[in-house]
Each structure stands twice: as C-alpha cells, then as structure tokens.
Structure 1
Amino acid sequence: MMRRRTGAAGLVAVGLLAAGVVVPVATPLAHAEPRACTENQVRYVAEEPGGIARLGARRAWGLSTGKGVVVAVVDSGVSATNAHFPRGSVLPGRSFVGGPATTDESSHGTAIAGIIAARDIGERSGVVGVAPDALILPVKITGGEAGDDEAQQRAANLAPGITWAVSAGADVINLSLSTAADRPDVRAAVAAAVRAGVVVVASGGNRDQAAEVKDGLRFPAANPGVIGVAATTGSDVVTEDSIHGPHVDVAAPGDDVATTFRAWGDCIFSQEGQSSSYATAYVSGAAALLRQRFPSASPADLTYRLQATASRGTRTVRDDVSGWGVVQPYEAMTATFDDSVAGPVRPGGTPRASVAPRVTTVDLTPSPDPRAGDRTTVLWLLLGVAVAVLGLGMGRMLRVPRGS
C-alpha cells in the first residue's frame, strides 16, 4: 500500500450522496447474449471497453499501469470473487452498513472498481481497467437498497467513509455520487483528504436520478480540490443526462460501459444506469496512472495535468458542459508545461489577465471637400451656359415669319 503524500490543493475523485438522493444502481442492458447480465450466470464480454481506446489507455500503459496505487471506491462494496480481481487486488476495506466490504448487493461498486482496475484475464474477456495494476480499497457505505431511510443512512456514512479511506492509505478516492446539497460534514472530510494529498474525483451528477434536475452545482464535485466529471457518449459528446455547471472539470466515457458484474464476469451497463458514475471511474483510473508516474506530485499538479491536456475544441476555453474536455492520460503524463500553455492556470502560475476587446470608434462626420469652390464655379458656369442656350432657343421660336 502506498504511503500518503502531502501536497497542495488536492485532486480527489469524489461523488456525493445526500439525503433524498438514491445511490446510482447500474441497470443491465437487455442485449442478446453475451451482453445480457443475469445473476448467477457467468458471462464475459469479448470486446474491449470503448473507453480504453478513447482514453488511449494502452499507449499510457507503456508509462504507467497504476501499480501500487490505492484507489478507494466509496460505494456499495466490491465483489472480490469476480475473476477480474485476483487475490490481493481488492483490499479488505471497511463496511459501514454491516457485512464485509468485499461483497456488493447492488453491483454498482463492482462496476466502478472494474472500470478502474479490472485485471486482464486473457481470451475469456476483453474487459480491463484503465489502471489494471492499481489496488482497490472498497469502502461500503450502502447496501444498495432504495428508499429514503437508506438514502439518509448513505448520506450519514459518506463523510466517515472518506475519512476512513484517507486513514487507510488511499491515493485516489472515487465518489460516483452527487447531490445539490453541500453538507458540512462531507465538505470537511473532502478538505481533509485534499490536505492529506489524496486525489478526489466525483460525479458531476445525472439528471434522471437527481432530486433537482436543473443544471447547477453538485457536491462534492463542487467542493474545492475535487475533480468533477461529466459523461460522454461514444462520439465524445457530453450526454444530455449529465448535469451541467461550474463544478464540471473534465469529461470521460459513460455510455454503454463494459465492466465487471459482481461475481458473474462482465456486463455492459447503459447510460440509464448513471452514466457519470462510470465517467468518474475512468477519471479515477487516469488519476491512478498519473499518481504512479509522478509519486511526489501534489493533487493540484495531477489535476492540472488532466485538465490542461484534455481533448477539447478550443484550447483556451472551458465550459459548463464538458469542463476542459475529455481526459487523455498519456498526454497528461508526457506534456511539458509553462505559463504559455493554453487552458487552465497551472499551480503556482500567474493568472492570465482577461483582455477586454478593443473597441474602435468610427468618425462618420463628413470631411470637407477641398475642391468644393472649384466645383461650385463650374456648376454656375454650366448653369449659365444652359440658360444662354435655352434663351437662344426660345428667341428663335418666338420669331414668327411675316406673311405666313
């Protein structure tokens, strides 16, 4: 287990649960075999998860696989009996709801863990995690049941879960949860994690699962030092279901995600199953790659690398839909930075002054004509000639011949 590193403002993967908000539970797709997800029936997905290619993960593995990095999954537990999690890859963790943290009744926590660190099991399956050598630390704060009482319990367990994960040596904390409520206990727990050097990553929120469906701040993604994540489709377009707001820092795949399904191999989960939850896991995996590559870097430094190198249309512009863009871990590990790099301001860098657009006033006052006098003289001469000619013509017309 890696030792805690202390840094400046931290980068942490956190998704918040609040009273009245149900923890996202992944919904199996009703595809034909082998895509269907059926309890007690082991099946595997042959194709590699699309997010692995879209994040350039295989290229990144030449530099880092997340080896030794501890990623805490604060969620519904993780089924350690899945074939993608050989002995030792999932730590014992802790449960705040009874029973071991290495069990999962809802399948959500196991799906998140698989996106982050599922091991390659050869020809049986194409599923593999973004950081395939990272260690998963399950922190079970919910049994996955629906209902207001359970939601309140989950909310009460979130802050203690974050605090325990820090004490247990987490390097990255994944919180695939969100709420519109800024709970003081969670805010304090996140702040302590950031001060301890933990990278915290949180869901930016899902419209179809939120008590408040309008765009706006979601927590703990909006808490200082936390990386807020939006979900994209297979075309790298942020899903309509993702909540938009200033808390969104980056985006990652969240649509039709192939990952681990409790004890029964693999499943493909749709965006209907909380897409930003899966996007958050992809970013946590990317953070694990960077943590191994830069063991002494502060969370703020790692966050900056992810933001500055994210794929986006305009390098200098961030928006409330996709933040700084889709994360690219290889670029984040290889880029060289200084104050001239377009995008977010690097830690310790000089904030860029916003330059007001130059406004030019156009003088529409007519300019004096330097030849106006000459033009007037000529006009009068022409007028005089015209009058003379007209007079001669009229004189001729008035002279009538005698005897006619």
Structure 2
Amino acid sequence: MLLRSAALAVSATLVLTPLVAGAPAQAADRLPECSGVSATQPSGSTLLDVPAHGPLEQIGVPQAQQWLRARGTQPGAKVTVAVVDSGVGAGVTRAAGSAEGTPEYFHGSAVAGIIAGIAPSARILDLRVYSPEDSPGGPQVSAAGVRSAFDGLVAHPEWDVSIVNASLEIGDDPKVAADIATLRERGVVVVASTGNRVQQASGVPSAYVGGEDFATRYFPAGYDGVVGVSAVAPPGGDTAAAVLANSATDISAPTAGLRTLSLLGSPCLLSDVATSWATAEVSGVLALLRSAYPHASAAELVARLEDTASGRTDVRTDFAGAGIVQAYQALTRPLTLMPSGRQSTDAVAAPDDRASVPPARPDVLAGTRHLSVWWGLLGGGALLLALVLRPVLSRRGRMPPRRP
C-alpha cells in the first residue's frame, strides 16, 4: 500500500503548477511523454517544449478542490474508484483487492494518475485486463479480462467501489452488460470512453466513416446507464478528427496537455486528444461529487455532472454530449433533484436579476375613485359650457329693448 501523501504530491504537480500565458515552457512543463517512460528506462528521452494547456484548470478542478477543503472534506475522501485497465503503477493510494507488481504498459497508470490528480484522497482499485507486453501485437485489451474484472466487482461488494473507470472498448458482451446492470442497482457509476477516431479494436474499423454512429458497436459505453465520455480538442483544434461520432456520448473533457503519472509514479505528459484520458477526468470529478454528497444516489451525481456541463442536456452532440464537464459548477450549483436524478417540477428557479413589475394589490378605493371621475367630468363639462355661452348671454343683456 502506498501512502496518501504521494497522491497529494501528485495533485500539486498536476493541478496547482501555475502557467503564465505567453511565457516560455517552464521546467515543470518539460516532462517526458507518458508513453516514453517504462519500468526499464525511467528517465524517458522525449521532452516537450510546448507548455501544457491546463485541461484541469479549464474544467475548474482547483476551485472544486478548494471548495471541498474549505468545508472540511478532502477531495475524493472515502471514495474507491476501480480502474479497469492495463495496471496501475506507483504514486496513488491503492485499495484492497488491487493487482500486485509493476505493470508493463503505461495506459492504466496514466488513467489512475489523472483520477488521483483530481481526487487525491480517493483509493484506486487496480483491475488489470490487458494482455502481456510480449504477446503478439503487443499489449491489448482482453475481452475475457474485462469480463472477469466486472464479475469480480459484482462478487466483491466489500470492495466498496463507487465509480468504475473503463477507458477501453470491447465487443458487445451480454455478461458484462448484466454485471453493469447489477452494479447500477447498487449505486455504482460506470464511466467509459466513447472512442478515438483511429482505433484498432473489435468491431471498430481503423478508418473513420463520416456520419457513422458507433453507439451500437462501442462497449461498454453503449450500455444503458453507463456515462459515455468523449474528448475535445484545444481551441482551434479539430475534435471530429480525433474522436468517433457516438450518440452514447453523455459528456466530454479536454485532454491535450494533461500531466499524470508514469509507470514509476513520476510526472509525465499526455499531449494527445484521447477519450481514455477524458474518461479519467470525469471519473475524478465524480469522485469529488461522491465525497461531497455521500448520501446522494448515483443518478443524482450523474445529473449534477450533466446538468452543469458547458452545453445543454436537451441538445446533445455525438462528439461532446451535454458539453464539457465543469467540476466546480457540479459541486456548487443549486439543483433540486429527485432520486431518479431528474430535476423535480417544484425546483426553485435561479433568481432573475431583471427588474419586474410587482404584483397588483386590491384597490379598495376603486369605487370612490370611479364616482369622482364621473363627477369631475360632469363638473368640467358644465364649466366648459358656461364659458362658451357667457359671451352670447352677455351680448343679449346689452341689446336695446324692441319698440312696440
């Protein structure tokens, strides 16, 4: 077991390092690409000269962490996140039941590092589902391994998992679908990636076909109740060139420039736009929500996530869902929710700053005022008539009398 202090140090590295617009790359930004750091070559050889874009700053993670700590809650406290992936290396707080030994492939460590950077007090349950590094074709997701991982989650409720992160894809598997349904009934939120454009995976071609919807071919994101996550490109970038069009997408996150953990627990950089990393970001934000609202239902947490995103829940897109996740807003925006996660009909509307007409009050003098108006009109009419007739009457008074 690794100490929580290691995760806190990761949080400071990932989130709190300031970036100055227009400044040259700082030493903290000159990190090796995560894919270039291995257990046998810890130093890495590729350093990036481009400063990080600060995706976690974009989605409000520092503010969300500060808000929680100000209320006496450590971000991610008492929350366990299962990472169904290639294996989690050093640098995070591991949960009981995690796989032992140093993994061979960086992917799972990068995912776990993102979650730890957002929710440093969360525990990470390492469930490894990749084939070995030296297998034909290199490390790949094993459908049998994924099935075994979800079977284990169902069979071991004592692991007390709140969130399952599946930054991967398998073909349609009825057993996995049934396990996910069981986990949902227990209040567990399953988060999965909706797919990158260039993908060698079961049922998904490497060549992207414009306009095609992968919702019925990309799982587990395509299963009911799973939070499907896509990635968005930096300003000026082309999101559609990086990710698949998938109507199962519920929410999205920026990824290019994320700092995370290598296999050895050292900081490294993710420079690509990838749904795997975005999925980890959303799982981290859900861990913040669970630590803030321990008694909320899973549906309520997901509703907070989606209703506070940058877009609209009623106008979703296949590339971004309801929009980009907003951690601070998800934590703090007042929402009146039912257990189903939907906003109740008696929800209090947000205050309107525009001036409004006060409600009318009963007019107890309306009758008197009505009579006064008529008497005024009659009196004014009589006065006007007198003024008009006065010259005529005056002339008649001065006329000489007629002779007989």
Provide closer, same or farther for how the CA distance between residues 51 and 238 of structure 1 changes in structure 2, counting only shifts above 3 A: same
Residues 1:222 and 2:222 aligned together: yes
Where relative contact order (Cα < 8 A, 6+ residues apart) is larger, the structure is: 1
Match of residue 245 from structure 1: 246
Letter in 2 for 1:55: I
Provide closer, same or farther for how the CA distance between residues 131 and 238 of structure 1 changes in structure 2, counting only shifts above 3 A: farther
User: How far, CA to CA, are the matches of 1:321 and 1:289 in structure 2?
Assistant: 25
Structure 1 counterpart SS, 2:142: helix
Match of residue 79 from structure 2: 69
User: How far, CA to CA, are the matches of 1:106 and 1:260 in structure 2?
Assistant: 12
- How far the C-alpha of 1:157 sits from its partner, in A, is 1.6
Per-residue Cα deviation, 1:314-351 (whole angstroms, up to 9, x for no partner) = 57421212100000111111122258xxxxx943757x
Structure 1 counterpart SS, 2:81: strand
Provide closer, same or farther for how the CA distance between residues 48 and 91 of structure 1 changes in structure 2, counting only shifts above 3 A: farther
Letter in 1 for 2:219: F
Residues 1:289 and 2:288 aligned together: yes
Match of 2:122 among 124, 134, 140: 134
Q: How does 1:115-134 map to 2 (within 5 A)?
A: 115-117=114-116, 129-134=117-122
Provide closer, same or farther for how the CA distance between residues 130 and 149 of structure 1 changes in structure 2, counting only shifts above 3 A: closer
User: How far, CA to CA, are the matches of 1:319 and 1:108 in structure 2?
Assistant: 27
Provide closer, same or farther for how the CA distance between residues 244 and 266 of structure 1 changes in structure 2, counting only shifts above 3 A: same
User: How far, CA to CA, are the matches of 1:234 and 1:149 in structure 2?
Assistant: 30
Q: Which moved more, 1:224-233 or 1:211-220?
A: 211-220
Residues 1:279 and 2:283 aligned together: no
Q: How does 1:194-209 map to 2 (within 5 A)?
A: 194-209=184-199
Provide the alpha-carbon RMSD of the alignment: 2.9
User: How far, CA to CA, are the matches of 1:237 and 1:311 in structure 2?
Assistant: 18
Provide closer, same or farther for how the CA distance between residues 68 and 207 of structure 1 changes in structure 2, counting only shifts above 3 A: same
Per-residue Cα deviation, 1:111-169 (whole angstroms, up to 9, x for no partner) = 0000000xxxxxxxxxxx11122111111112453647975x71012122123235222
Letter in 2 for 1:268: L
TM-score (norm 1): 0.64
Match of residue 160 from structure 2: 169
Per-residue Cα deviation, 1:64-116 (whole angstroms, up to 9, x for no partner) = 31112111101111112xxx33xxx1235344xxxx2x521011100000000
Match of 2:181 among 184, 191, 194: 191
Letter in 2 for 1:238: T
Q: How does 1:207-356 map to 2 (within 5 A)?
A: 207-210=197-200, 211-212=204-205, 213-214=208-209, 215-217=213-215, 218-235=218-235, 238-263=239-264, 265-271=266-272, 275-312=274-311, 316-338=314-336, 346-347=341-342, 349=344
Letter in 2 for 1:262: L
Match of 2:32 among 23, 35, 56: 35
Provide closer, same or farther for how the CA distance between residues 34 and 268 of structure 1 changes in structure 2, counting only shifts above 3 A: closer
Per-residue Cα deviation, 1:209-263 (whole angstroms, up to 9, x for no partner) = 1433443212111211110000012228735221112200000122233211111
Match of residue 24 from structure 1: none
Provide closer, same or farther for how the CA distance between residues 234 and 78 of structure 1 changes in structure 2, counting only shifts above 3 A: same
Structure 2 counterpart SS, 1:63: helix
Letter in 2 for 1:247: A
TM-score (norm 2): 0.64
Provide closer, same or farther for how the CA distance between residues 349 and 90 of structure 1 changes in structure 2, counting only shifts above 3 A: same
Match of residue 7 from structure 1: none
User: How far, CA to CA, are the matches of 1:197 and 1:331 in structure 2?
Assistant: 22
Q: How does 1:144-155 map to 2 (within 5 A)?
A: 144-145=132-133, 147=136, 151=140, 154-155=142-143
Structure 1 counterpart SS, 2:118: coil
Q: Is the 8 A contact 1:222 1:247 kept in 2?
A: yes
User: How far, CA to CA, are the matches of 2:194 and 2:115 in structure 1?
Assistant: 18
Structure 1 counterpart SS, 2:127: strand
Which structure shows the higher helix fraction? 2
Q: Is the 8 A contact 1:225 1:300 kept in 2?
A: no
- How far the C-alpha of 1:268 sits from its partner, in A, is 1.4
Match of residue 348 from structure 2: none
User: How far, CA to CA, are the matches of 2:313 and 2:223 in structure 1?
Assistant: 25
- How far the C-alpha of 1:290 sits from its partner, in A, is 0.3
Aligned positions, number:
287
Q: Is the 8 A contact 1:163 1:193 kept in 2?
A: no
Unaligned runs of 5+ in 1: 1-31, 118-128, 340-344, 351-404
